[in-house]
Amino acid sequence: VGEAFDKTAKLLDLPYPGGPNIEILANQGDPDRFELPRPLLKDPTKPFTFSLSGLKTAVRTLILGRSPLTPKDKADIAASFQKTIGIILANRSSKALAYAKKTFPNLKGFVVAGGVAANQSIRHILSQTANAYEIPFYAPPLTLCTDNAAFVAWTGIEKLQNQQYDSLSIGARPRWPLADLKKGAV
């Protein structure tokens, strides 16, 4: 999700990191001006899957088709993009929470983390989604909402300090559908 924010920000000529800059600009825009695609939301065979590639392509096409953009265009595109991301995340989270509540009756809460968790609009819609299922919502303080790469790097440091080394024989998998995971493999 953060990558989609960063790419959209770049297309709008906003500085890096894109997320906070999209949010600032979106607060000045009309979220209903542009109707953007919401990929996979109506596919009942993939209730937990989401893809943002179609959304990113649509934003790119919209921006290139309207160049040069006015400040209002930029704000409205940012607002429409942010709203669409919120709808997609709320939809998928809703399906996941319904499943989790049924499968794990003692579910303690719903946590959102990472850089996108700093976005107030995203926090609000995900909080509402959790509340609809009477599940407590948790998000870290804004100062701790950083790119997940920081968490991965920290894990690497911890393992290195504890002399826990992994061979490099495991290949990188940039895409790994959850359906392909075997039980206990994670």
Would 135 be classed as within a structural domain? no
Give the tokens for residue 82: 């942010």
Residues ≥6 apart with Cβ < 8 Å to 9: 15, 16, 17, 18, 19, 21, 22
Domain count, the chain: 1
Distance CA 66, CA 145 (A): 33
- Whether 22 is covered by a domain: the verdict is yes
Residue 128 tokens, joined: 């509402």
The encoded tokens of residue 159 equal 């393992």
Q: What is the pLDDT of residues 113-125, one digit of tens each?
A: 888 899 999 999 9
- Structural domain of residue 25, as residue ranges? 2-102
CB-side exposure of 105: number of CA atoms within 13 Å? 0
- Radius of gyration (Cα) for the chain, nearest Å? 18
Question: Has residue 29 been placed in a domain?
Answer: yes
**What are 138-159's pLDDT values in tens digits?**
999 988 887 777 677 777 888 8
Residue owning tokens 């968790």? 117
How much of the chain exceeds pLDDT 70, in percent?
90
Whether residue 183 has pLDDT greater than 90: no
pLDDT digit string, tens, across residues 87-122: 999 999 999 999 999 999 899 999 998 888 999 999
Q: Is residue 146 part of a domain?
A: no
Residue 6 lies in a domain: yes
Q: What's the pTM?
A: 0.80
CATH number at residue 70: 3.30.420.40
Q: Tokens at residue 133, please?
A: 């299922």
Over residues 175-182, mean pLDDT: 66
d(CA 63, CA 92): 27
Q: Mind listing the pLDDT tens digit for each residue in 55-73?
A: 999 999 999 999 899 999 9
In this prediction, residue 43 has a pLDDT band, given cuts at 50, 70 and 90, of confident
What's the pLDDT at 29? Answer: 98
Token pair 């953009």 is at which residue? 69
Q: Tell me what the mean pLDDT of segment 12-20 comes to.
A: 93
Split at pLDDT 50, 70, 90, the class of 181 is: low
Residue 145 lies in a domain: no
Residue 134 maps to a domain: no
